[in-house]
Amino acid sequence: SGLLPFTVFGWPEAGAALEAFYPTELLVTGFDILFFWVARMIMLGCHFMLDVPMADGSKRTLKDAVPFKEVYIHGLVRDADRQKMSKTKGNVINPIEIIERFGTDAVRYTLASQASPGTDIAFNEQRTEGYRAFANKIWNAARFLFMQIEKAKEAGYKIRLGENLPVTVLPAETPLETRWIFARLSVVSAEVETALNNYRFDEASAAVYQFFWGEFCDWYLELVKLRLNFDRPGNAETAITLASLVGVFEAALRLLSPFMPFLTEEVWHALYDNEPYAKSIALTRYPQASDFPSYKDAEENMALLQDLIVSIRGLRKDAAVPEKEFAPIRIFTNNHVVALVDANREMLSRLARVDAVDFMEGALSGANVRNTPKFDVAVVYERQIDVAAETERLTKELARLSKGLEAAAKQLGNEAFVGKAPAHVVEGLKKQQAETQLLYDKAKTALEALQ
C-alpha cells in the first residue's frame, strides 16, 4: 500500500495520468496509521519517483517526489461515551445500519459537524437524528419554493433560471429582508470558504446549518410570504422577491452540497426541471462572498428587528397571550428605530402578532417590559402578574449583570492591560460596560416597581 500513490497511475511509465495526479494535493487519514502507512508512502515516493521526469522533461526534485502536499489527520470515531469501539466491549456501531435508518447525508453531516482538529468524534444517534430533521427541512423549503414557482408560472411571471452569475447590486426597491438575506449569504460564504481552506469542516457545516435553518427558513421564508402576491400580474415587489428567493435557495444548495451531496443533487436538478446548466451540482461554482451584495445597514436593521420580535415573543409567553391572538405593544426608543418599526409593521404583525404600536416618550419599566440598549418594549395585555416569579427573574438578572460590571471594571482598571490592548478593544469594553450598566439600572427599577 505504500506504493499506491504512483502505481495506480501506470508507474514506472511516465504517462498522462501520473503527470496529472502526482503529487496530489491532500491525504486524509487517521493518526493511528501515520507511521505504518503515511510515512512509508512518503519514503517510497521520494525513493522511486525521483527517477521519473516531470511533465516538461525536467528532473524531479525531492519536493515533487513527495506523494502529497498536505496531510489532514482526522480523529477516530468513538461511541457516545467516547470509548474506543471493540467487539469485546460490544459497542461497535455498524455504519450501514445507521445509514439505512437516518440516510447517508444525515450521517455525513454528523461526522462533518464533529470534525474538530485534535478531538475524536463521539458518535451519537441523537445528533444524526437531528441532521435527518435538517434534511427534511431542506425538502420542505424546496417544496415551498416549487409551489411558488408554479403559482408564478400560472400568473404569467417568467422564472429566470440558468447559470448563476454574481449578483452584486439589487434594485433600489428591494425589501429589507431580501437585502439582508443576500448580505448574510455573502458573509456566510466567506465564513465557509475560510473554514474549508483551514480544514475546519465543523465550523463550515455549522455556518451553513445556521444560515439555512436559522436565517433562511426561520426568517426569510416567513417574510417573503408577505411579498408574494400572484393575484396582481407584473407586481414588481413579487417579481424581485421571487427572483431573490430562487437565487438564494439555489446558492444555499451549492453551499450545502459538500455536506449533503445526494439531497442537494436531487433538489438542484428538480429546480432546473432536470435540465440544469451543469451535469452535477458538484461541478458548479462554489459560492464566494463577492458573488453577493453586502449591505451592512440591512444586517444591522434586520438584527434590531429580530431582537425586537424575539423580545415581544418572550413577553407574550410570559403574559400567557394565546398564540393566535394579536396584542398591541409600547416602545420607547430613538428616532431611527421608530422609523424602522413604522416601515416594517407588517413584519411585526406576521412574526410577533402585533396589531398596534404605541411609541412612548419616556423609558418603560415594570414586570412586563424588556429593556435593551436600543429600546424598551412592553406587550399590552391584561393578566395577573406572578410577582414572585418575576421578582426571582429580575433578581437573577441583576446578579448576572452585576458580575459583568465587576469583570469589566476589573479589566478596565488594569493599567497593564489598557496600555497594551489595541484601542478598539478598550473602546469596545467601555461600550459594553456602558450598555451593561444601562440594563442593570433598568432591571433595578423594574424590581423596585414590584416591591
Identity of residue 420: K
pLDDT digits (tens, 9 = 90+) for 142-190: 999 999 999 988 888 877 665 544 566 777 788 999 999 999 999 999 9
**What pLDDT does 295 receive?**
92
Query: CA dihedral defined by 143, 149, 154, 157, rounded to 10 degrees?
Result: 170
Task: List 30's β-bridge partners, or say none.
Answer: 74
Instruction: Identify whether 117 is preceded by a cis peptide bond (ω within 30 of 0).
Output: no
Per-residue pLDDT tens listing for the chain (451 residues): 889 999 988 888 878 888 888 889 999 988 888 888 999 999 999 999 888 888 777 888 888 899 999 999 888 888 787 888 878 888 888 889 989 999 999 999 999 998 888 788 888 888 999 999 999 999 999 999 999 999 988 888 877 665 544 566 777 788 999 999 999 999 999 999 999 999 999 999 999 999 999 999 999 999 999 888 888 777 888 888 888 999 999 999 999 999 999 999 999 999 988 888 889 999 999 999 999 999 999 999 999 999 999 999 999 988 888 888 999 999 999 999 999 999 999 999 999 999 999 999 888 887 778 888 899 999 988 765 677 888 888 899 999 999 989 988 988 888 888 888 877 788 888 888 998 998 888 888 888 877 7
Residue 161: per-residue pLDDT: 67
State residue 18's pLDDT score. Answer: 86
CB-CB contact of 71 with 35 (8 Å):
no
Q: How far apart are CA 379 and CA 370, in angstroms?
A: 9
Q: Number of C-alpha atoms within 13 angstroms, CB side, residue 362?
A: 1
pLDDT at 220: 96
Alpha-carbon gap, residue 241 to 243, rounded angstroms: 6
Give the per-residue pLDDT at 296. Answer: 93
Which domains are seen in the chain, by residue range? 1-74 (no CATH), 125-292 (1.10.730.10), 295-385 (3.30.2320), 386-451 (1.10.287)
Secondary-structure breakdown of the chain: helix, strand, coil percentages, each rounded to the nearest 5: 60, 10, 30
Task: State residue 426's pLDDT score.
Answer: 84
Do 84 and 76 meet the contact criterion of CB atoms below 8 Å apart?
A: yes
Quick one: pLDDT at residue 383? 62
244 Ramachandran zone, left/alpha/beta (phi>0; psi -120 to 50): alpha
Local structure of residue 66 (DSSP, 8 states): S
Which pLDDT does position 165 carry in this prediction? 47
- What confidence score (pLDDT) does residue 277 get? 85
Contact 241/94 with Cβ under 8 angstroms?
no
Phi, psi dihedrals of residue 432, rounded to the nearest 5°: -65, -40
* pLDDT confidence of residue 363: 87
